[in-house]
Chain A
Amino acid sequence: MKDLNIQELERRFQEKIDNDIKIEPRDWMPEEYRQTLIRQISQHAHSEIVGMLPEGNWITRAPNLRRKAVLLAKVQDEAGHGLYLYSAVETLGADREQTIDDLHTGKAKYSSIFNYPTTSWADMGAIGWLVDGAAIMNQVPLCRCSYGPYARAMVRVCKEESFHQRQGFEIISLLAQGTPEQKEMAQDALNRFWWPALMMFGPNDAESPNTLQSMKWKIKRLTNDELRQQFVDVTVPQAHMIGLTIPDKDLKFNEETGHYDFGVIDWAEFWEVVKGNGPCNKERVDARRKAKEDGQWVRDAAMAYAEKRKIQKAS
């Protein structure tokens, strides 16, 4: 086995993928497959962790104790999701601290949706409903991803995520059925989060050069545009049901295709936010960096205590 040339190893690797045999951490894999996964999984992990910030903003201001308990549980789940994913990325030989530092220096990206501010309580509804809804759309096919640890992490995440979407939908539909002011809050949140939610699926397929290879490796199972269309098709009727209007004048059900046609996404805005010029990019990364720096003494103290105990035990 060790004497096999690289072409033969690659052929066997692709054969496993084609036969839907999962790749596990110690199996041989092409370097580009490893690097693609490290990039994708660490960015996914960062998104979970940074995603705690816009919602964490509202924990102390939730309108009642039930909402507060639910939001707290949701944000705790996001921390858990980040940890599953950092664990998965470590199985690929990546250094966890390095991937986190890459986030803090701006080298690594995270989902651009979290660079938008959460200015009203209705945003907690819009985020759960739309952002978690879009994330579920993205993550369900990832449960069948060819890399075992990533797929297993996604199964856990998806199980937990459906409560996130439901609690958000509960918040926004209740507001939508409330006083005119409350309905206005719900509509305003939808207006601000609709387009960024559509951008979460990434650039159009024609502008996404890595998609083809990722599909061949079964890291990705559906294209960005396919997932985006699925999301629009399921979400538009939900908005109608609760009496809210999707902020897209070109949105129209197409009888021929059976799908909703929708307007053109403002990709200039998307790339600006990705590049770091969104409304909250700096604030988010600063908050993460501060959390790591401020917690350094706690981690050091815990490690020093553990080492001291080990020495005491040995003597």
Chain B
Amino acid sequence: MSNKEWPLWEVFIRSKQGLNHKHVGSLRAADSKMAVENARDVYTRRSEGISIWVVESNNVFASDPSEADSLFEPADSKAYRHPLFYDVPDGISHM
């Protein structure tokens, strides 16, 4: 008797060929094989997917939402990365 709880897994589904896997939720399973089978039963009962990834939740490392401002600040302060930063003279096309 191990009496241990099954670990938690995060489930990612590719809904169709050409799209990326997207997080859909989580579930409990004893191992990766069972996690994939359970994910099929829980998250794809109506043909929502053609491919499943499962990752044990304790292997997911996440950014801290309370530090989001400083973490993402470099992106906010660089408007010149966006095309609209630049003026294109009238008469110039295909740019």
Contacts and interface: CB of A to CB of B under 8 A. Distances in A.
Nearest to B5: A97
A300 B2 contact: yes
B6 A1 contact: no
A308 to B, nearest CB: 10
Interface string B59-74: 0001011110100000
In the complex, which range does the number of interface residues on chain B fall in? Answer: 20 to 34
Contacts of B4: 303
A310 B65 CA distance: 34
Contacts of B65: 24, 26-28
Nearest to A297: B1
Interface stretch (B39-47, B78-86, B87-95): B39-47
Contacts of A153: 25
Given A1-B67, A27-B65, A307-B2, A84 B42 contact: yes
Interface in A1-38: 1-2, 24, 26-28
B67 A87 contact: no
A80 B45 contact: yes
Nearest to A27: B65
Contacts of A91: 26
Interface residues on A, range: 20 to 34
A303 B62 contact: no
Interface string B9-31: 00000000000000001111011
Contact of B26 (A24, A90, A300, A310): A90
A60 B31 CA distance: 32
B45 A305 contact: no
Nearest to A91: B26
B28 A302 contact: no
A73 B2 CA distance: 33
Contacts of B34: 302, 306
B27 A87 contact: yes
A27 B68 CA distance: 10
The 6 A-B residue pairs with the shortest CB-CB distance, nearest first, are A306-B31, A302-B30, A306-B30, A1-B66, A87-B26, A303-B2
Interface of B: 1-6, 8, 25-28, 30-31, 34, 41-42, 45-46, 62, 64-67, 69
Given A90-B8, A303-B6, 11 more contacts: A84-B42, A87-B26, A96-B28, A149-B25, A153-B25, A160-B46, A300-B2, A300-B3, A302-B30, A305-B31, A309-B31
